[in-house]
Structure 1
Amino acid sequence: MISEPELVGEQSFGAAELPGPRSAPAADGGSSETVGDDGDARPGGGPGGRRVPGPAWLWALGGAVAASAVWAGGLYAYGTPDPDPDLGGYRASKDLCEDAKLASLTSELGAMHSKSPASSDHQSLSKASCYADLGEQEEVPVDVGDDAYEGQPASVWVEYVLHKKTDPGPEFEAAVRAEHFFPGSDIKIEDVQGLGERALVVKDGPDGDPTMHVLDGQAVFALHASAGYEGDLDGEDGEDGEDGGDTDDLSGITPLMVNDMRSLMAELKK
């Protein structure tokens, strides 16, 4: 015969309680117990025999705090990334023909005229250029019948590129070589000391017109000088009975280009 279950004392059966963390067995082989606030012994318990209570969200919050501390420690150890490089004080140029005074070249080859500036400014890159003729400003005769082109004055071409996001340094020399390469070219490249981070002078052969390229941090410059020419390009005698040829000697012009480039770099930092 099945009897009704016995009630033990005055204990009532309420909501179930979750057991605390399991404690290590006692040294004498017996089981450990946790004494609750009501004096009853409950199996299991935390360190020192006390039950470790706590809802699950509290443990999750502790994990989030620990993760944040690790992230903050990583930022302290490695530093925060700088989104924009240091431009070294360089600014964009709106009119490179005005910024490039070219005092040394013009003293040798004549004043600048017929200037053609161009510029473009973007949050990632600024670029400006200037083309100008040098010397006396006069009409150059052109006859498309017998002579395709009879002559031209000395000229200069200047370019300035400011890289605002990427470093142009690793590709500087490769970019210079690629710019001057064409089939059958015989370019000569020389280093120039004491100008910017690195400076190169490029000539197409020993008698070619020089182009100076300069790297200075995030800024890249180019300065090209062309000698004037008079006479017939087809090899026939000119009106004075002589073959055409260069009117300017550019063999010792590199120091003048260095002076003008240094002045331009300083101007673009104002």
Structure 2
Amino acid sequence: MSTHADSKPWTVPALRQAKQAGRKLVMLTCYDYGFARTVDAAGVDIVLIGDSLGMVVQGHDSTLPVSLEDMVYHTRIVARGLERALLVSDLSFQSDATPERALDAATQLLQAGAEMVKLEGAGHKLDVIKFLSERDIPVCSHLGLTPQSVLSFGGYKVQGREDAAAEKLLADATAVANAGASLLVLECVPSALAARITAAVEIPTIGIGAGPDCDGQVLVLHDLLGLEMGHRRPKFVKDFLAEGGSVGGAVRAYAQAVRDGSFPDAAHSY
């Protein structure tokens, strides 16, 4: 299946090795078996089963209605389509409210085929990250614009613009890394701040609307393909299908652009 026949499957330790080597990581969301085969063959390093499926698959206005059962189902079917990419699954809204709940949810996702779970925020989530990582469950943290906090934020807004907010975000990034996170997604963060965070933490950072200096990038598959989903298109989104000519071509174009540093450029950053 894979066009990278000489490449080994990605592992959690390999992610940090990639950061140390200066190799950009390519991450993309995926929600079903057919697309999983396509993105894996196109050379994506990390596949994220995001709770964004609530918006792009189920038609909701936010990620809040997505259930743990939804995440387990999509994890199971995506896992069947992957050979090389590392599979990360989101912990659905409030399934990580306590360490014990998070352990139960993460166990279900790993048993369905995930190799890492993603959770949003710092604060009390630091105890959750530590609890999971101590039990050999790899964790991806998510800071900046955290979609599960949309009600508290009052909408989808860039985070960390003011000095105090920027310093807090930097402190939170350091804290989640110290708590045991293996990967860090930064969403809708000013480029200069994302660069500071990337330099400050030993774990790889994955940007989405966080500028070119992160250790990798992630996009929602439907955004990469230019599909109209009834929502305002964020600044960081680029339609790669036009230049790729096919779904596989679009994913390969995206992967190449991330690796050679041409995406994101200033037009797709804050």
TM over 0.5: no
TM-score, normalised by the number of residues in structure 2: 0.25
Query: Which has a greater percent of strand?
Result: 1
Select the structure that is richer in helix: 2
